[in-house]
């Protein structure tokens, strides 16, 4: 071992002494619940699909297997901090966590995750071949082993209000370009009182504004890094794409754009405050759910493009099994259940088919029950996911995998810092050029690590 970890405990022996008395007589409050053997701890992001899972677990999974599942749900930013902390230290407090296809490759490289191949091989009912190939690919690390199972998968697409477009005598092409979308946004802006043309994320965070923006950059012909790790944030294509994005959202986008993320835009479309929205395909479930005021009024088309054929992103919240887990086989049982066809059917019956955690299995898109309620968006979703190419998403070769992110550990920090600059540009506090030249400096520092 290296020095620090072995030194700290020595340095803090007095602290042990101070705490030992209390710790010794604590008993009750301490002792992880995993000691019971048949219980596992799961850390997950607080998205509606996960909340549903939490509600269905006790009455189904626990009833069938006798394994108690202790959930911790946190908002996205918090959950990432928490997961990286627990996994990087191999603290083993959680057996399973929701990890995205961004983290899986380098978590696997650092040996923080347990490969799942042997469990998959033994678990015939799980049927790995049913998982969409682009999903399996993005969850497989460089060593060729599988390190995650998708809970749901998504790409991005454009959503628009069919009724508003009809009323304005506008038609949405099935494969729109970004220029067409910008023109349409200008025309539908103000179609109803308080309705804006389009909603685009502006909230800081590498998983917030950076995700849609990077797909726009890709299709405009830009990239974060060239194949040989040169930062390209001030290249003409990157600047042009960013200017386009910032201008569009400033002119015809939602108010409060610099603080708007997925949920703000979802709310805007639901409340008729925007006519279009470019975001994750998983949004369709909420828009078409029973009780949604815009149910049946939304049209879905593929992600707008410029110089690529498709430009949807690829993202999945997947289950990762921590290497330090004390109950890996119980944990696999949970993963296998949560990502199964059976679970999708359970959600379909209990909560409605539109809420099914979809986008991961081919069989979902041949299920007549699912297709009946998801007809509006099922095909375009599947097409977007299968056409997404995480190895080659733009017009030039990339140094690593990833469409709306660069798959290096530094990207979460770099992306977050850059997103704060972009967000400031969206808020009108600085120009796009200033934002990007500051960002370029940050990206160059990161690139240095990888060059040569």
Partner 1 sequence: MTSTAVVALPPAARRARRKGAALGLLAWLVGIVFVLPVLWMVLTSLHSETDAATNPPSLAASLTLDAYRNFFGAGGGASPWPALINSATASIVSTLLVLVLATPAAYALSIRPVKKWTDVLFFFLSTKMLPVVAGLLPIYLFAKNIGMLDNIWLLVILYTSMNLPIAVWMMQSFLSDVPVSIIEAAQIDGARLPTILARVVGPIAGPGIAATALICFIFSWNEMLFARVLTSVVAQTAPVFLTGFITSQGLFLAQVCAASIVISLPVLAAGFAAQDKLVQGLSLGAVK
Partner 2 sequence: MTTPMTVPTARTGPTPRTAIPRFKTRGPKAWARRAPLLPALVFMIAVTQLPFVATLVISFFDWNALYPNDRHFTGVSNYSAVATDPALRDSVVTTAVLTAAVVIASVVLGLLLALLLDRSFPGRGVVRTMLIAPFLLVPVAAALLWKHVLYNPEYGLFNGAITWVAKLFGDTTPPQPDWISSMPKIAVETALVWQWTPFMMLILLAGLQSRSMDMIEAARLDGASNWQIFRYMTLPHLRRYLELGVLLGSIYIVQNFDAVFTITSGGLGTANLPYTIYQTFYQAHEYGQASAAGVLVVIGSIAIATFALRVVSSLFREEASRS
Q: Which residues bind partner 1 (CB under 8 A)?
A: 5, 8-9, 12, 15-16, 18-19, 22-23, 26, 29-33, 41, 43, 45-48, 51, 54-59, 70-76, 78, 82, 85-86, 89, 91, 93-94, 194, 208, 261-263, 266-267, 270-271, 282-283, 286, 291, 293
Residue 228 or 413: the one with the smaller Cβ distance to partner 2 is 413
Cα(111)–Cα(303) distance, rounded to whole angstroms?
35
Of residues 182-241, those binding partner 2 (CB under 8 A): 193-194, 203-205
CB of 194 to partner 2, least distance (A): 8
Among 156, 214, 268, 281, binds partner 2 (CB under 8 A): 268
CB of 15 to partner 2, least distance (A): 5
CB of 201 to partner 2, least distance (A): 13
Q: Taking CB under 8 A as the rule, which mask of x and - marks residues 57-76 in contact with partner 2?
A: --------------------
Residue 65 or 77: the one with the smaller Cβ distance to partner 2 is 77
Cα(129)–Cα(364) distance, rounded to whole angstroms?
13
Residue 17 or 24: the one with the smaller Cβ distance to partner 2 is 17
Please provide residue 363's backbone torsions phi and psi, each rounded to the nearest 5 degrees. Answer: -65, -25
State the angle between helix axes of 236-252 and 210-219 in degrees (0 to 180), rounded to the nearest 10: 130
Length of the chain: 452
**Does residue 195 contact residue 164 with C-beta atoms inside 8 Å?**
yes
Cα(85)–Cα(111) distance, rounded to whole angstroms?
14
Cα(311)–Cα(296) distance, rounded to whole angstroms?
25
- Choosing among partner 1, partner 2, none, which partner's interface includes residue 412 (Cβ < 5 to 8 Å by kind)? partner 2
**Does residue 404 contact residue 214 with C-beta atoms inside 8 Å?**
yes
Among residues 156, 267, 258, the alpha carbon closest in space to that of 212 is found at: 156
Among residues 429, 442, 436, the alpha carbon closest in space to that of 258 is found at: 429
- Choosing among partner 2, partner 1, none, which partner's interface includes residue 91 (Cβ < 5 to 8 Å by kind)? partner 1
Residue 77 or 234: the one with the smaller Cβ distance to partner 1 is 77
46 binds partner 2 (CB under 8 A): no
Residue that has been written with the tokens 């699912």 in this structure:
370
Residue 282's DSSP bridge partners are none
DSSP state of 193: T
- Choosing among partner 1, partner 2, none, which partner's interface includes residue 282 (Cβ < 5 to 8 Å by kind)? partner 1
Q: Taking CB under 8 A as the rule, which mask of x and - marks residues 377-416 in contact with partner 2?
A: --------------------------------xx-xx--x
CB of 71 to partner 2, least distance (A): 20
118 binds partner 2 (CB under 8 A): no
Cα(177)–Cα(180) distance, rounded to whole angstroms?
5
- Choosing among partner 2, partner 1, none, which partner's interface includes residue 133 (Cβ < 5 to 8 Å by kind)? none
106 binds partner 2 (CB under 8 A): yes
85 binds partner 2 (CB under 8 A): yes
**Does residue 285 contact residue 356 with C-beta atoms inside 8 Å?**
yes
Strand 149-154's sheet: what is its strand order? Answer: 68-74, 39-45, 96-100, 315-321, 149-154
Strands 68-74 and 196-199: unpaired
And the tokens for 318? 């997947």
CB of 408 to partner 2, least distance (A): 9
DSSP per-residue codes, 372-416: HHHHHHHHHHHHHHHH--TT--SSS--SSS-SSS--STTHHHHHH
- Choosing among partner 2, partner 1, none, which partner's interface includes residue 86 (Cβ < 5 to 8 Å by kind)? partner 1
Residue 46 or 128: the one with the smaller Cβ distance to partner 1 is 46
Cα(345)–Cα(449) distance, rounded to whole angstroms?
47
Q: Which positions lie near partner 2, rule CB under 8 A?
A: 2-4, 7-8, 11-12, 14-15, 17-18, 77, 80-81, 84-85, 88-89, 106, 110, 193-194, 203-205, 254-260, 264, 267-268, 271, 273, 409-410, 412-413, 416-417, 419-420, 423-424, 426-427, 429
């Amino acid at each position: 071992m290296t020095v620090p970890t072995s030194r700290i405990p020595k340095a803090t022996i007095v602290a042990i002494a101070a705490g030992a008395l209390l710790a010794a007589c604590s008993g009750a409050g301490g002792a992880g619940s995993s000691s019971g053997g048949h219980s596992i701890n799961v850390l997950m992001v607080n998205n509606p699909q996960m909340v549903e899972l939490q509600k269905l677990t006790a009455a189904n999974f626990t009833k069938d297997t006798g394994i108690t599942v202790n959930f911790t749900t946190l908002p996205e930013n918090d959950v990432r901090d928490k997961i990286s902390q627990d996994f990087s230290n191999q603290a083993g407090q959680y057996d399973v966590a929701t990890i995205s296809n961004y983290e899986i490759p380098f978590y696997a490289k650092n040996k923080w995750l347990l490969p799942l191949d042997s469990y998959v091989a033994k678990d015939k009912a799980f049927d790995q071949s049913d998982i969409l190939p682009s999903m399996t690919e993005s969850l497989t690390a460089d060593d060729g082993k599988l390190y995650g199972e998708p809970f749901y998968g998504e790409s991005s697409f454009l959503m628009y209000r069919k009724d508003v477009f009809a009323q304005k005598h506008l038609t949405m092409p099935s494969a729109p370009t970004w220029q067409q979308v910008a023109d349409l946004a200008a025309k539908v802006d103000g179609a109803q009182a308080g309705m804006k043309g389009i909603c685009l994320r502006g909230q800081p965070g590498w998983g917030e504004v950076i995700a849609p923006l990077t797909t726009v950059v890709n299709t405009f012909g830009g990239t974060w890094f060239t194949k040989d790790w040169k930062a390209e944030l001030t290249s003409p294509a990157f600047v042009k794409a960013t200017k386009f994005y910032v201008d569009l959202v400033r002119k015809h986008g939602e108010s409060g754009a610099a603080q708007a993320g997925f949920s703000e835009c979802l709310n805007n479309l639901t409340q008729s405050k925007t006519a279009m929205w470019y975001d994750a395909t998983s949004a369709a479930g909420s828009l078409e759910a029973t009780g949604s005021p815009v149910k049946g009024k939304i049209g879905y088309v593929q992600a707008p493009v410029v110089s690529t054929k498709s430009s949807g992103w690829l993202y999945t919240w997947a289950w990762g099994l921590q290497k330090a887990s004390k109950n890996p086989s119980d944990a696999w049982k949970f993963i296998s259940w949560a990502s199964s066809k059976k679970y999708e059917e359970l959600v379909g019956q209990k909560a409605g088919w539109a809420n099914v955690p979809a986008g991961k299995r081919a069989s979902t898109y041949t299920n007549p029950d699912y297709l009946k309620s998801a007809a509006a968006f099922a095909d375009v979703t599947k097409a977007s996911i299968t056409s997404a190419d995480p190895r080659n998403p733009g017009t030039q070769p990339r140094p690593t995998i990833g469409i709306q992110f660069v798959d290096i550990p530094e990207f979460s920090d770099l992306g977050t810092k850059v997103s704060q600059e972009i967000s400031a540009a969206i808020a009108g506090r600085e120009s796009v050029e200033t934002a990007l030249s500051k960002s370029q400096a940050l990206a160059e520092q990161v690139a240095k690590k990888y060059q040569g």
